[in-house]
A and B are shown apart, each in its own frame.
Chain A
Amino acid sequence: MKHTSARQAPRNAEEHTFKRFDQELAHLNRIVLRMGGLVEDQIAKAMSALRDADLDTARNVVARDHVVNFLDVQADEQIVNLLALRQPVGKDLRMILSLGKTVTDLERIGDEAERIARMTIDIYSSSNPPPDARLLSDAFRMSTLATRMLHDVLDALARLDVEKAIQVARGDVELDSEFQAALRRLSTYIMEDARNVGHTINVTFIVKSLERIGDHSKNIAEYVVFLVKGKDVRHVSPESIDTGELGR
């Protein structure tokens, strides 16, 4: 949780005349950011378990996924209440919608972390010898990228920083090409030695999960842009997202 402590909850320059609305929005924000911190930690733990062949940590990650799910449910409840009782419009409406979608993506990221942990358990509990470092190097390279994207996008969400969000969205291209490269490399390992197939399949799942984490981060980045600018930048190529064009 120490990542989130550095962050501030998104804050409006002015408060609502009706103070409880502010408190409820802040509460939703806290849930989302807590969830963000939690899934970040889940990924970090899952990757360290993979590196250190630490099955206990991996099992912990799997077990902790229900906390992520619990926060997801909590956030949804808060959103339903806000929509029903406060009839938000404008910025408030966009914030609630964006946070709602962010929660879904964070929950998926949590699932991906859990999958990585499960693959880790698979890899190290099989009768085969542990995979060599070369096989895993792609996963670690990609996890660095994906973790940074997630971290940055959560930062951007906390500070409503559009520039940073757009950077994150652009960064997804890099991760995608890294993923393609990883796939190619992994296929060469199979060609080299058919005994690598089992590990390679697991690692393929792991890099796929990391690629998905990048995609989810990119989605969140797009929600941040929508939240701040009111423009939907999904399904638009990242290159064409230009701050200047976004109005205001």
Chain B
Amino acid sequence: MNATASEMLLVNEPPPPPPPAEPVAADPVPAGIETVGRITVDQPRMTSRNVSVMYGDKMGIEDVNLDIGKNEVLAMIGPSGCGKSTFLRCLNRMNDTVDVCRVTGTIRLDGEDVHDPRLDVVQLRARVGMVFQKPNPFPKSIYDNVAYGPRIHGLAEGRRETDAIVQRSLEKAGLWNEVRDRLEQPGTGLSGGQQQRLCIARAIAVSPEVILMDEPCSALDPIATARIEELIDELRENYTIVIVTHSMQQAARVSQRTAYFHLGRLIEVGETSQIFTNPRHDLTEDYITGRFG
């Protein structure tokens, strides 16, 4: 609660006292600021406490506390470089692949610490799938793309089981009817939106609990985007979805909760309807109304 600042922004007494000129985008968030809003949920799937990421000696994100509920879509928004993608990649330890990246704090998946040395990162990534910004199907056939995960994790025995998984995954991703006759064609030959749905099918083929999406529609046209958004809404029934997006409208459309990041800190989190009608932090307000960013 920084009531004084907000009062100053919203109430202009005549003659207006010159408001302290705060170029918000440039100034760092004052240290020790706390996240506005309720970070916890009743049925958490993942929890993160005091998660900080350092890139070398540069702070990526700092002290992020956030719960992700079961079967909810959590949207993470914020200006470029605010750390939302960094936090997303902490959730399935994709940051491990970056040498200089150091993650501290606790992240739990169903109560299990994801950094527990006994927990295999391979297993974690099977449970926490990921869909990337640019559709990145393997340069293999559509079938092999979807079957790859089940094969490496030994989820399917024999051709028949694999076939079933491939079909089910493609159906869930809303792609089956479009590709059923050309499963042997390369996945890279599909259109952008189809490729992205193929990537989603590939991710759900290993039956994850959580699906992370890093700006999944940024390379797609509005119709393809709408189909992905509809798909996200359908998938919510069975999966927990965390989506990073630059489109605030998209966050508003698909998510139940929204988290706003700014300069490596989680500024505010709340019900999406609240964030978009009545954000409680000025930075959130300024960002979603297009006053900077």
Contact residues of A with B, CB < 8 Å?
8, 10-18, 21, 87-94, 159-162, 228-231, 247-248
Contact = CB atoms under 8 A, between A and B. Distances in A.
Interface residues of B, number: 31
Contacts of A88: 289
Contact of B289 (A8, A90, A160, A162): A90
B8 A89 contact: no
Contacts of A247: 280
A interface majority secondary structure: loop
Given A11-B12, A13-B9, A248-B1, A89 B289 contact: yes
B11 A16 contact: no
B11 A17 contact: no
Interface in B1-31: 1, 3, 6-14, 16, 19, 24
B291 interface: yes
Contact of B291 (A16, A162, A230): A16
A20 to B, nearest CB: 11
6 contacts: A87-B249, A88-B289, A89-B276, A160-B11, A248-B1, A248-B7
A228 B290 contact: no
Given A17-B290, A18-B290, A248 B19 contact: no
A15 B291 contact: yes
Contacts of B278: 90, 94, 229-231
A159 B14 contact: yes
Given A94-B277, A248-B6, 4 more contacts: A14-B286, A15-B291, A16-B290, A90-B276
Nearest to A164: B11
B68 interface: no
Contacts of A162: 11
A96 to B, nearest CB: 11
B289 A92 contact: yes
Report the 9 A-B pairs with minimum CB-CB distance, sorted nearest first: A230-B278, A13-B9, A89-B276, A90-B289, A14-B291, A92-B289, A90-B288, A89-B288, A90-B285
Nearest to B278: A230
Interface in B239-292: 248-249, 252, 276-280, 284-286, 288-292
A159 B13 contact: yes
Best-surrounded residue of B248, B279, B285, B290 (most CB of chain A within 10 A): B290
A114 B200 CA distance: 63
Interface in B67-105: none
B293 interface: yes
Interface in B114-145: none
Given A90-B276, A94-B278, A230-B278, A160 B288 contact: no
Nearest to B19: A13
Interface of B: 1, 3, 6-14, 16, 19, 24, 248-249, 252, 276-280, 284-286, 288-293
Contacts of B1: 248
A89 B250 CA distance: 13
A21 B13 contact: no
B3 A91 contact: no
Best-surrounded residue of A87, A161, A248 (most CB of chain B within 10 A): A248
A159 B290 CA distance: 22
A126 B14 CA distance: 48
A248 B6 CA distance: 8
B97 to A, nearest CB: 35
A89 B293 contact: no
B10 A16 contact: no
B8 A13 contact: yes
Best-surrounded residue of B6, B284, B285, B293 (most CB of chain A within 10 A): B285
A96 B1 CA distance: 26
A219 to B, nearest CB: 19
Contacts of A21: 290
A8 B252 CA distance: 33
B12 A159 contact: yes
Nearest to B9: A13
A11 B16 CA distance: 10
A3 B119 CA distance: 71
Contacts of A16: 289-291
B12 A8 contact: yes
B10 A160 contact: yes
A162 B285 CA distance: 18
Contacts of A93: 276-277
Contacts of A228: 10-11
A88 B262 CA distance: 21
A90 B279 contact: yes
B277 A248 contact: no
A12 B14 CA distance: 14
A98 to B, nearest CB: 12
A110 to B, nearest CB: 26
Best-surrounded residue of A91, A228, A230 (most CB of chain B within 10 A): A91
